[in-house]
Structure 1
Amino acid sequence: MSAGASPAARLSHLSRYPSLIEVNARPWLSRLSLKAGKPLTLAEVDEATLDAFSHQGFDWVWLLGVWQIGLASRTLSRRNPAWRREFQSALPDLSEEDICGSCFAIGAYEVDEALGGKAALADFRARLAARGIRLMLDFVPNHTALDHRWVKERPDFYIEGSEEALAVAPQNYCRVETHQGARIFAHGRDPNFPGWPDTLQLNYANPALQVAQMAELASIAEQCDGLRCDMSMLLLPEVFQRSWNVTPPPFWPKALAGVRQAHPRFTFLAEAYWNLEWELQQQGFDYCYDKRLYDRLRTADGTAIRAHLAAGLDYQDRLARFLENHDEPRAAATFPWPRHQAAAIITFLAPGFRFFHQGQLDGARIHLPVHLCRGAPERPYPEILRFYERLMTVLSERAVLRDGRWSLIPPEPAWAGNPTWQDFIAYAWHAADGGHCLAIVNYSDHQAQCRLRLPFAAQAGNRFRLTDVMGGEVYDRDGSGMLDPGLYIDLGPWRYNLFAMEPVSP
């Protein structure tokens, strides 16, 4: 469905392959406020800014970091010397007020008053819905801020340590005051890294904690259309046991089902790593991060990329494909141009949930820590801006790329002894009405050639026009020849074609 469809039609139509933009709420509002010359809340975001999301074809806006940040966690962010150096690097004119604390150190699931509170969020959501766009927010299940009310009221909700644990691993434990006296609690942690010192680890082996978290989810779900669930795999029983030596009952299946009972169309996106994406999909998540594709694009391994993309669509359709997010470095700083273009074509023309990040479409290069509520200004990079403008237009306007049937095309040698066929990634997009598309990328730093046997019905005996909708190339080709020996492709380093394929009248 095109971006020009009516809002009601767009909201009622769930594209098979939707697009999302991640927007960090506090820095974004800070920039808009500077432009407006006054502080703005979510209710005061101008209509043109919201129109831009619609015109770019986004189905979702993920508003990162709307919840209240714990004051104790904010204080720690301001006093941590290592973090301070990172903040200063991203924002040279840093001030104390710029450090709002990590938006993953949540003190309460209440919309921060600086953003306008709950009413402003509701207004923002309604104005997105009027444009056919859904709102996604955060759920951070693994931990809380240092001064969440549960710390004093329900110390049994947390993983408790010992004096010995604190002495041996002070980076992973801290002493806190509760209504039941001083306790030693664990910091929230990925088991492969030191604890996050501005957080405390929740104990999912306590059934009462699971009940409380399901109540939090039910409350949050009233305010949005979907949730991105932070570090979702940490709650899996086997992962939790490995981290904390206790095995909780599964949380996600009953928690997600409970929300969907009240909101059948609700969407859950899991931040997921360690090859646990399939497991989380089976537990009820609609989509999971696809970090493996991202990592393989960074290493430029065409064979590994094709192997990953050969998985079944029951799995791939539910992967969130990205080139950057708030955790990863900026794509423009990671993928040199024109390799950036090639990586984007592979990523966003693959099946799945298309996941873009605020600033990516302009070529932003500064990675902003999530502890900051202001970012350094950056000028858009014209070449990157033009590329993404064209890509978003194509994704929005061509229904086959949003609702069509996708398949991977295995490349074959162009001639014996030429190994460069291995550098190609190629896709076919099939439409019921015959409006097919081809995405072809030479993902290497050298000239490469291959043959592609196109998997479209009714090719034999007909002629077809291939029009590159991202460029200006137009070719007429014989359908039988594209079946055997296959369409001949010769592309320079990191070059690509995105062909619309239409029959040519005799």
Structure 2
Amino acid sequence: MSTTVKYPSLYQINTRVWLRALSQRLGQPVTLANVPDAEVEQLAALGVDWIWLLSVWQTGEAGRTVARTRPDLREEYRRVLPDLDESKDVCGSGFAISGYVVSDQLGGPAALAAFRERLAAKGMKLMLDFVPNHTAPDHLWAKTNPDYFVFGGSEEDLQRTPGNYLRVETNSGSRIYAHGRDPYFPGWPDTLQLNYGNPALQEERIAELLAIAGQCDGVRCDMAMLILPDVFLRTWGISMEPFWPRAIEAVKAAQPDFTFVGEVYWDLEWTLQQQGFDFCYDKRLYDRLRGRYARPVREHLLAEPAYQAKLVRFLENHDEPPRAAETFSWPTHKAAAIVTYFGIGLRFFHQGQFEGYRVHIPMELCRGPDEPVDETIHAFYLTVLRALTDPLFRSGHWLRLDPFPAWAGNWTCDNFIAFAWQSDDGERALVVVNYEDSQGQCHLRLPFADLARRRVRLTDMLGEEVYERDGSALLDPGLYVDLGAWGYNVFKIGEVP
């Protein structure tokens, strides 16, 4: 099989929380410069292709002040950390960026470069953040380049909706700036909204992206759809030239293998893919899995495979509280994981997901709670990760299967989600999930005509089940499947010698 990885996996790390925990455990300051070898080995042992270091860039005092003074946030911090020390534990949002330079507290640019080399030596790539929509209030441009930002309205506007505007003293006098926001919610008070209607600002942002691309292998672009021209116009009443096609083209001209991942909502995934993004978030799948019914999930998977192959599939991330172990019952959690991670696309795992952690850590904190590892969840994910290292699931051909009634009137076939995999060198697998809370049966017609008149062995890659079946019957009427609520199998398909 080709070594090209079509469907990679990514592991997200909250960098500030991670390094703080390592420092506490080892009794000495740990930065990206001196992460223990054992920690890098553990990351490599996961079998993932990407490490996303969340929140490595410089943040300013303005963002920290907002984070420490908002009553709603402080209440959340206390819930997460009953022993909260605001001076040490509240560091401000990593998305309120004051400069795209690695924070000195994390070791600075040289430490990041060294850590990237260590990942590369283990076959892993590095992803970092790019926040296109806004900056921190104390970004240098706020003083030197007011025309890079969206201005607020009158003094009356500032008084009427202070959550959307901020007065800033610039080198050319006092200005009222708009906070960054999306069109459906109030402004984010630790940000200033950039004006993409200004061509000079767009050129500066492309230059920043080129500089970032020299420090990593890919970027995750926060709320990437906010600077689509129609969205920007609807939000701010300002026309702009398209940004993403030019920016992505410029970066890939310098770094052809550089990867762009977009956080995207509002059914704009296809639009961003067409503008050059390699992968876009698939929150629709996540939402349908949370609905706990098979049919909407199965219908979601009807989309063209070429489109699905460029989606990011996940069960939790820093933007989706509560966490998977809290959102799903354990049987449903397992079934949702099989559907999510044995399909196609980029497989996105979140730090703490494998351990079954339940507490969502706010972006403004740089310390998390001590949580016990759920050994049952941990063992399950280790088995899943081990299976996903099979080249069949990384670079094979994926085909969605339709479940058929096991007998006339057997409506429980609607419970099932199933797909098959095949590699260029003949390896095959079948994934089947009963994504309902009741027993179900169905027939699955395997799409492998050469199985006719052969004896076929089905070996569960995640369990101990082994079955032998007549290959012709697997084609028609199909494999008979009988699974309990939230049951699943991942079968490797082979011939009986």
What letter corresponds to residue 145 of structure 1 in structure 2?
A
Q: Is residue 95 of structure 1 aligned with residue 76 of structure 2?
A: no
484-493 or 410-419: which moved more?
410-419
What's 1:117 paired with?
A: 108
Deviations 1:347-377 (A, max 9, x none): 0001000000000011010000010000001
Q: CA deviation at 1:67?
A: 0.3
What's 1:155 paired with?
A: 146
Counterparts of 1:113-192 in structure 2, within 5 Å, are 113-163=104-154, 164-192=156-184
8 Å CA contact 1:190–1:234 kept in 2: the answer is yes
Please state whether the residue corresponding to 1:387 is helix, strand or coil: helix
Please state whether the residue corresponding to 2:163 is helix, strand or coil: coil
Deviations 1:457-492 (A, max 9, x none): 301111110011101111001111111111110100
What letter corresponds to residue 39 of structure 2 in structure 1?
T
What letter corresponds to residue 160 of structure 1 in structure 2?
F
Please state whether the residue corresponding to 2:451 is helix, strand or coil: coil
Equivalents in 2 of 1:278, 1:155: separation in Å? 34
Equivalents in 1 of 2:231, 2:211: separation in Å? 27
What's 1:80 paired with?
A: 70
276-285 or 83-92: which moved more?
83-92
What letter corresponds to residue 158 of structure 1 in structure 2?
F
Q: Is residue 281 of structure 1 aligned with residue 278 of structure 2?
A: no
Please state whether the residue corresponding to 1:171 is helix, strand or coil: helix
What's 1:450 paired with?
A: 442
Equivalents in 1 of 2:191, 2:483: separation in Å? 50
What letter corresponds to residue 233 of structure 2 in structure 1?
Q
What's 2:220 paired with?
A: 228
What letter corresponds to residue 378 of structure 1 in structure 2?
E
Q: Is residue 29 of structure 1 aligned with residue 19 of structure 2?
A: yes
Report the aligned-residue RMSD: 1.1
Q: CA deviation at 1:306?
A: 1.0
What letter corresponds to residue 41 of structure 2 in structure 1?
D
Equivalents in 2 of 1:171, 1:199: separation in Å? 11
8 Å CA contact 1:434–1:502 kept in 2: the answer is no
Q: CA deviation at 1:168?
A: 3.4
What's 2:307 paired with?
A: 315
Q: CA deviation at 1:161?
A: 1.2
Deviations 1:150-199 (A, max 9, x none): 00000101110112432332211121111111111111001111110000
What's 1:4 paired with?
A: none
Please state whether the residue corresponding to 1:392 is helix, strand or coil: helix
Equivalenced residues, count: 494
What's 2:409 paired with?
A: 417
Q: CA deviation at 1:224?
A: 0.3
Please state whether the residue corresponding to 1:278 is helix, strand or coil: helix
Q: CA deviation at 1:378?
A: 1.0
8 Å CA contact 2:129–2:222 kept in 1: the answer is yes
What letter corresponds to residue 192 of structure 1 in structure 2?
Y
Equivalents in 2 of 1:39, 1:427: separation in Å? 48
Deviations 1:360-406 (A, max 9, x none): 0110100000100000011110100000000001111x211111100
What's 1:5 paired with?
A: none
Match of 1:355 among 328, 334, 348: 348
Equivalents in 2 of 1:500, 1:405: separation in Å? 14
8 Å CA contact 1:436–1:501 kept in 2: the answer is yes
Q: Is residue 340 of structure 1 aligned with residue 340 of structure 2?
A: no
What's 2:58 paired with?
A: 68
What letter corresponds to residue 150 of structure 1 in structure 2?
W
What letter corresponds to residue 319 of structure 2 in structure 1?
D
What letter corresponds to residue 335 of structure 1 in structure 2?
F
Please state whether the residue corresponding to 1:63 is helix, strand or coil: strand
Q: Is residue 390 of structure 1 aligned with residue 390 of structure 2?
A: no
What's 1:38 paired with?
A: 28
What letter corresponds to residue 49 of structure 1 in structure 2?
E
Q: CA deviation at 1:14?
A: 4.0
What's 1:256 paired with?
A: 248
Percent identical pairs in the alignment equals 57
87-96 or 203-212: which moved more?
87-96
Please state whether the residue corresponding to 1:227 is helix, strand or coil: strand
Equivalents in 1 of 2:107, 2:277: separation in Å? 30
8 Å CA contact 1:187–1:199 kept in 2: the answer is yes
Please state whether the residue corresponding to 1:391 is helix, strand or coil: helix
8 Å CA contact 2:449–2:475 kept in 1: the answer is no
Q: CA deviation at 1:71?
A: 1.1
8 Å CA contact 1:430–1:456 kept in 2: the answer is no
Equivalents in 2 of 1:305, 1:79: separation in Å? 42
Equivalents in 2 of 1:416, 1:69: separation in Å? 63
What letter corresponds to residue 250 of structure 2 in structure 1?
G
Equivalents in 2 of 1:194, 1:420: separation in Å? 45
Q: Is residue 427 of structure 1 aligned with residue 419 of structure 2?
A: yes
Equivalents in 1 of 2:80, 2:353: separation in Å? 16
Please state whether the residue corresponding to 2:421 is helix, strand or coil: strand
- Normalization by structure 1: what TM-score? 0.96
What's 1:6 paired with?
A: none
Equivalents in 2 of 1:417, 1:168: separation in Å? 62
Equivalents in 2 of 1:380, 1:407: separation in Å? 35
Equivalents in 2 of 1:91, 1:193: separation in Å? 27
Equivalents in 2 of 1:478, 1:192: separation in Å? 56
What letter corresponds to residue 276 of structure 2 in structure 1?
G
8 Å CA contact 1:409–1:427 kept in 2: the answer is yes
Q: CA deviation at 1:301?
A: 2.5
- Normalization by structure 2: what TM-score? 0.98
Q: Is residue 59 of structure 1 aligned with residue 59 of structure 2?
A: no
Counterparts of 1:390-409 in structure 2, within 5 Å, are 390-396=383-389, 398-409=390-401
- Identify unmatched segments of 5+ residues in structure 1: 2-8
What's 1:365 paired with?
A: 358
Equivalents in 1 of 2:417, 2:408: separation in Å? 19
Equivalents in 1 of 2:455, 2:425: separation in Å? 17
- Identify unmatched segments of 5+ residues in structure 2: none
